[in-house]
Structure 1
């Protein structure tokens, strides 16, 4: 694949490296492959970025810019809690849609790097949490809540990317667990509270059942345990 020659060399190089990264991972981003795809000589790449690490940093910055576009598109579409959930889901989905780019952006960041788009995305989250705090909805500080959400969402995404078989409910459960930790109880809806109570009883029964004398056959007990697991998500 070759980038349009009408674009500036730096842009062509970044877009070529990004395309190679998305299709083949970081190992596919070689100076020879990027230069050929961008339609430039290898020395041009080094003049623009210094070395391959500089180029990968520029690609990560482009990834953050794309992520910011998706994040800002969701801003203001609902109440703060709805936006928090949508923001979490969008973050995870971005990582699943762009696994190699996400790994470059988050798993191996440049030490001390301050990518403007990444900082702006973090500020959007902080402002959203500030709105929740102003209504008395946060049980921790805005800064602590932002750190917890970001760290947990990043960990969930990287875990899903590395899991041989992804649990379809893993992200949602982690999202709600984090929200439970940062929100005041008043922010939980009646249905949330009922679901939490039912899930807690189900977990307790599932833990106790194997050691209890029961009138169930082995097959019935396996079926009951399956039902309890479904109830806990």
Structure 2
């Protein structure tokens, strides 16, 4: 190839690396093989990416582009909890269909290194959990809820990729367990009832002594029933 490197050459290098990664998920790939596929010399690859890790990060960005392109086509149901379910299932489906990309996106861990592209789906999920919080559907802060959903979603997807066997029952069970953890109305109700008991006890003159004692008794029974 002659002439100065072009942006088209960069995209072809990313595509070649992506194809090699997709063909052998979890395995190392050769920079030489990437260059030979595109028909360029190693200096051209280093011109664009600086290092092998730079190329890997570009492939990760490409993987997230594919993933978010699929998510962008999904319409909101209007129910944020149902949207979490749909997003979870789409996440798992993408991972199983693209194990090479997925293991790069979420399975390759380097302490202190988090690809910028990882923040993109996280922002989408935080937006959904923020809507759930606005509807008083969460038992934990919305950012905590998003983190809880994401890490369990990643874990169950990687598990299926490692076993090379889809397990819809496992995914569904973990999904519902994660949703229950962030929307535990029982625990929140108990906390709210306890707070009401404490408030009533602190202001007995509002209702009167007898009425306050009766209210506290009733609230206490509700706490027991909710636990």
Shorter-chain TM range is 0.7 to 0.9
Aligned-pair distance for 1:109?
A: 4.5
Residues 93/39 of structure 1: CA separation in 2 closer, same or farther (3 Å cut):
same
How many residues align? The count is 181
Say which SS state the counterpart of residue 8 (structure 1) adopts: helix
Residues 36/179 of structure 1: CA separation in 2 closer, same or farther (3 Å cut):
same
Tell me if structure 2 keeps the 8 A contact 1:20–1:28: no
Aligned-pair distance for 1:120?
A: 2.4
Aligned-pair distance for 1:43?
A: 1.5
Instruction: Give the whole-Å Cα distance in 1 for the aligned partners of 2:168 and 2:79.
Output: 25
CA RMSD of aligned residues (A): 2.1
Residue 61 of structure 1 corresponds to 61
Tell me if structure 2 keeps the 8 A contact 1:16–1:34: yes
Unaligned runs of 5+ in 2: 187-227
Aligned-pair distance for 1:112?
A: 3.2
For residues 68-87 of structure 1, the aligned pairs below 5 Å read: 68-87=68-87
Q: Deviations 1:25-74 (Å, cap 9, x if unpaired)?
A: 35462112101112211211112111211111111111112111122222
Structure-1-length-normalised TM-score: 0.71
Tell me if structure 1 keeps the 8 A contact 2:57–2:115: no
Tell me if structure 2 keeps the 8 A contact 1:71–1:121: no
Residues 26/176 of structure 1: CA separation in 2 closer, same or farther (3 Å cut):
closer
Structure-2-length-normalised TM-score: 0.73
Larger radius of gyration: 2
Aligned-pair distance for 1:166?
A: 4.4
Q: Deviations 1:112-140 (Å, cap 9, x if unpaired)?
A: 3342x432211111111111111110001
